[in-house]
Amino acid sequence: MPLRRPDYIEQGVYHVYNRGVARLPIFLHADDYNDFRDILTYLLKGIPSKKDAILPVPKDKPYLPVTYKADPLSNGLFRSSVDLIAYCLMPNHFHLLFQVKKVEVKVEKPAGRIASFQALPELVRRLCITYGHKFNSRYRRTGAVYQGRFRVKPVPNDSNLLQVARYIHLNPVVAGLVKKPEQWPNSDYHDYVLSGRIASFQITNSNLLLSYFRTKRVGYREFVEAPINEIESEILGKYFTDQNEKLEGSHPSM
């Protein structure tokens, strides 16, 4: 059965996820995780040209990956249309939580032609294609990187939003990769809970999730790391009605 794409609405929240073909890893090295984040930064925030950079450019890394040159109009293209709320990159899959600010994006093409497309699916399409090209090039491989098209699931209410964010940030703990979620370097959980942290790139907008907690970062940490009760488990279980949607088995209560 083909996947049904959701109807996108302004201020709507959507959980985007996919895994490697045949459940194979899509991140083999720290550079792979960094590439994926760099591409997200490029699309969501924009990266200045080398001559316009405020911070020094690292000598051991080109400022703009070669693949970006094939798509220069994507630099910061989704800055005003999509916010990233939370993410976690796992060895063979990824989770991204987005809020849509504008449903459509318009781009001026050569000769003055205007192209219009839905912001969120186009953002993820460009992200996956660009990363897939870099992954295949780095490891001298050909063929599919992902197991089919990425999945998009709307997050319908506040209860679901908080539970899905917690599910995303606890993924490395549930998988047995770390004992505490902030120990996993390939998510934004540490940016949420470590007060005063300055990231080299800040691609997550934390305002929405933290607005639910009076004590902000402290409150969110307590929520994520507290035992999941029966009601919360039921909420998350109903959200993931299709067992295949959970990618790697159970949610944290199981």
Q: How confident is the model at residue 254 (pLDDT cuts 50, 70, 90)?
A: very low
Residues 6 or more apart whose Cβ sits within 8 Å of residue 55: none
pLDDT digits (tens, 9 = 90+) for 17-75: 999 999 999 999 999 999 999 899 989 988 765 544 444 445 545 444 545 555 667 88
The answer to whether residues 79 and 60 touch, using CB atoms and an 8 Å cutoff, is no
Run of H or E including 149: none
Residues 6 or more apart whose Cβ sits within 8 Å of residue 172: 88, 90, 178, 181, 183, 184, 186, 187
Question: What pTM does this model have?
Answer: 0.84
DSSP letters, 153-217, are: EEE-SHHHHHHHHHHHHHHHHHTTS-SSGGG-TTBSHHHHHSTT---SS--B--HHHHTT-TTTH
Among 28, 42, 47, CA closest to 135 = 28
Q: What is the pLDDT of residue 112?
A: 74
Residue scoring higher pLDDT (146 or 2): 146
Give the pair of three-digit tokens for residue 67: 């693949």
Which residue, chain included where needed, has tokens 């059965």? 1
Name the DSSP letter for residue 243. Answer: G
Q: What is the pLDDT of residue 73?
A: 72
The answer to whether residues 94 and 248 touch, using CB atoms and an 8 Å cutoff, is no
Among 49, 164, 42, CA closest to 98 = 164
The answer to whether residues 79 and 159 touch, using CB atoms and an 8 Å cutoff, is no
Q: How confident is the model at residue 244 (pLDDT cuts 50, 70, 90)?
A: very low
Residue 217 carries which side chain, given as an amino acid letter? R
Q: Which domains does the chain have, with CATH numbers?
A: 13-246 (3.30.70.1290)
Percent of the chain surpassing pLDDT 90: 57
The mean predicted confidence, pLDDT, of the chain is: 82
Q: How confident is the model at residue 243 (pLDDT cuts 50, 70, 90)?
A: very low
The answer to whether residues 85 and 97 touch, using CB atoms and an 8 Å cutoff, is yes
Q: What is the pLDDT of residue 69?
A: 55
- CA dist list (Å): 116 to 4, 83, 221: 21, 19, 40
